[in-house]
Chains A and B, each alone.
Chain A
Amino acid sequence: MKLSRRELAGALIAGTALPAPAQNPPAAAAVQDAADALRRNSEALARFELPQSTEPAFQFRA
């Protein structure tokens, strides 16, 4: 296993072994996950009914 200088320093300072942090998924899974999240958000927003006169919650000041 290759350790960067920062990782090595961290390990020495830490003194005790820590569990490995959660790992990244395969790239394809992350791509799918991102697409699914946006789709779910989009569907939830589409289901929400609001009065036609409702303006967005941001202001532009000239």
Chain B
Amino acid sequence: MTDDVFFAGISELNAQLKKREFSAVELVRAFAERLEKTGPRYNALALPLAEVALRRAKLVDEELKRERYRGPLQGIPFGAKDLLSFAGHPTTWGAKPYASQIFDETATVLKKLDKTGSVLIGKLAMVELAGGPYYRTASASLFGPGLNPWDRTRWSGGSSSGSASAVAAGLVPFALGSETSGSIVTPSAYCGITGLRPTYGLVSRHGAMPLSWTMDKIGPMCRSAEDCGLVLQTIAGSDAADAGSAGKSFYYTPQFARKLSDIKVGFAAADPDAAEPAARLAFEQAMGVVRESGVQMVEAKLPDFPYGALTGTVISAEGSSVFEELIASGGVNELEDAYQIEGLKAGLGIPARDYLKAMRIRSLVKQKFRELFADIDVLVAPARYGVATRIAEPLGGGGAVAGNAGDMRSLIPAGNLAGLPALAFPCGFADNLPVGLQLVGPAFSENTLLALGRDFQNRTDWHKRRPPAA
């Protein structure tokens, strides 16, 4: 087995398994050993699960021998953010007060992946309690600062830190992450991988740590748009156990993708200049690649709302309510990040007036986005407007972009407030670090986002680049 295996796509690995080039046990063992050996280099590993994984892989091999095929994820190892419960094993939520927490039940998404024969090889590190709008230091995690495989003096992004760095470094073929406001898009951009934030309600959160009931989403973090489509198809679907479930399924249908020339892509002309100087050229060139695909490019502007105040209020109020017991018991003081601790405490004092006002304004945000998407199919913008933060520097407010003007820099909080899907993918480099674009579309437009992402990746090779030490 060569190192190329660690950077292969899901379909390629599955085809090799079917051709018996290697067994599921061999594949799982190779990835599990690599994850266990190299994961700590990036503070990416929360819990190795090699033993359980190898038992599962043996069963997959028996199925493959009988030619009982379950789909493209069969026999593919993966990692899951440590906010997803896996029965009988620790689920720490990245936080010291929950370091020995064990659930009896397995999260719906992990059960779904298990049914297709995909093999969980490890839990991946995360920002404590998935961060919210509070934390300001990269070290806000039980596992230490998430280190970026492209440069370990840089942050891997959060809160799905381990998921992103593990995929980037070839420690897992794909991972599950979660996003409340930026936690898939940001680490995907910083680590140079492809991440999909699904429409709110499309993927069950049953068995996942809640941070904000009205904003949490679980999604795939992979090497390519193609792989994101394959994973999303497996984990999406109605779940009566999730009160936010939209009751919808998702079928990845690249064969029925709309003609690109029929798609209107909205962009902000000022966007490249809004980026850090070192990243501007990469974004300009990437926008050129999008334009060359034949889509109709039209100028667009985000609806004007106080996005930072809205996400801050909603996530603070809901997150502090979720962790009310932790706060009351004093356990909150065991968290790593002082801003996180004080933010959670203060959030309990948010008046109903502010929370309800935020949720009422959120209704207008959704309405304005529906109007915007009546004329435009997709918005494109930098996923982050610069490269990964240095771990020695304070973070700019919980990893989420806070903005008050109606420009694309607010696309992360805006898209999350409206429950819209986003695809983040690598589009170039600045200062030897990856930068990415994000595509955002109306609710349940994942197939359109994936078609555009796939086209971009068919014409570029940024998603195939490997970090120097990997």
Contacts and interface: CB of A to CB of B under 8 A. Distances in A.
| Residue from A6, A34, A40, A48 whose CB has the most chain B CB atoms within 10 Å | A34
Interface residues of A, number: 39
A29 B343 CA distance: 12
B391 A19 contact: yes
A24 to B, nearest CB: 4
A23 to B, nearest CB: 7
B342 A45 contact: no
Interface string B128-158: 0000011011110001110100001100000
A37 B364 CA distance: 23
Contacts, number: 128
A55 B363 contact: yes
B393 A34 contact: no
Contacts of A10: 40, 43, 144
Interface string A11-35: 0011010111111110101110111
B346 A45 contact: no
Given A34-B339, A34-B346, A42-B354, A48 B361 contact: yes
Contacts of A23: 137
A20 B360 CA distance: 43
B88 interface: no
B330 interface: no
Given A19-B153, A24-B337, A54 B134 contact: no
Contacts of B360: 50, 54-57
Contacts of B259: none
A4 to B, nearest CB: 10
13 contacts: A18-B152, A21-B145, A21-B392, A24-B336, A29-B338, A31-B342, A31-B346, A33-B342, A37-B312, A46-B357, A55-B360, A55-B363, A57-B359
Interface of B: 40-41, 43, 133-134, 136-139, 143-145, 147, 152-153, 214, 243, 305-306, 308-310, 312-313, 316, 336-339, 341-343, 345-347, 349-351, 354, 356-366, 390-395, 404
Interface of A: 6-7, 9-10, 13-14, 16, 18-25, 27, 29-31, 33-35, 37-38, 40-42, 44-48, 50, 54-58, 61
